[in-house]
Copies of this chain bind each other. A is one copy, B any other.
């Protein structure tokens, strides 16, 4: 489609001449995120200053039935910010302020384009803690975190984005501006539109402010890297740690190749990975009392020593901790730089991890693909990177989707689901029938229609093409 001069003029009147863009290069720039190699440029990019301008834009979009896609930091892995039906690209970048850090109530009010890590550091200066830490925390924005219900390494102890969102200012697709709830820790007042909005991937409304819960900051942690000779045993150890009564603040799983590729890509990490190590667990406990953390670390040692492990590395210095975390957070990038790939965000109850992992390998054998797996084992969230390597294009396009379907069928049969923290967006939508009945999907779509009669807001996401 293309937008008429009349429409462009109306949009320009709203945001001002300096904040509307139709230059091809800019459209391309806003047409991709971190999802594989997809590029879906909008017809126009607008950069509104506030909720009122967004409201006016959405009214124009409704009047002319123009698809409108909210665009954040474009770090997403499911294509949620791609303008798959062109139209208006709504860049949120000017709504980038931390509005208030409320030390009395342990809350922060932010605009959506605040970088996750900027927020974390700003509240840390006040002795407060925002625990949600996606691997992309150095670049991803809080708005996108909320839209996709992002998780991260600390989710196992502290929960995911949804657990920190108290209240949202949202521009509804019809242009109405509402606050979804109240700035309270408890709320039993009407339907929970706050939680309906979290994870709705920009399809139900545009988030313009968020009130987030904070915690008092923990000052200490212990980090250890445990090498396993057998990947399935590493998965089994995960449940065993919880059953010993310990809730680690991070419990990350990396298959051998995830580490190999990362060590090749990232400089300055000295970890002694032997050829016999098939997987590693990166385990952190945190708290206020170092002596207790040492006790917990000893308990964890007792648990993991029941498995077939090599020598455990304790990170002694802050630098060593930073290096280990850098290694973990660079895995996705390393895999990406190594080969064309597809990433799935499977999640199961954590005890089902060994079964999921071995099932994925068998499915790979059947369909002829290799996979590199890593992720947040503490919450059963396994990122499955399917590697193209030297696979033919034909097999990549025909066999891999069949294999992915089988992986998701396995995931759901283990009481898990398609996505733990990346969202469904564009790339997983045609697998939604595996997790949900037609009636269930139609119910979700009816909710979408209640919010968005004309289906203008981020169309082409979440719902299968044929419903």
Contacts and interface: CB of A to CB of B under 8 A. Distances in A.
A181 B246 contact: no
Contacts of A392: none
Interface string A269-308: 0000000000000000000110010010000000000000
B217 A182 contact: no
A402 interface: no
Interface stretch (A25-33, A187-195, A221-229): A187-195
Contacts of A416: 182-184
A233 interface: no
B422 A188 contact: yes
Contacts of A288: 245
A451 B106 CA distance: 36
A216 B420 contact: no
A417 B184 contact: yes
Interface in A422-467: 422-424, 432, 435-437, 439-441, 443-444, 446-448, 450-451, 462
A442 to B, nearest CB: 10
A288 B450 CA distance: 48
Given A105-B350, A178-B437, A245-B127, A200 B189 contact: no
A381 interface: yes
Interface stretch (A57-65, A67-75, A155-163): A155-163
Contacts of A424: 188-190
Interface stretch (A13-21, A310-318, A341-349): A341-349
A367 interface: no
A444 to B, nearest CB: 5
25 contacts: A105-B239, A151-B188, A172-B443, A178-B436, A182-B416, A184-B347, A184-B381, A185-B347, A185-B379, A186-B376, A186-B379, A188-B419, A188-B422, A189-B417, A189-B419, A190-B424, A190-B444, A191-B444, A191-B448, A192-B198, A193-B440, A193-B443, A217-B245, A289-B292, A447-B447
Nearest to A420: B186
A243 B104 contact: yes
B216 A421 contact: no
B196 A191 contact: yes
Nearest to A411: B182
A404 to B, nearest CB: 15
A351 interface: yes
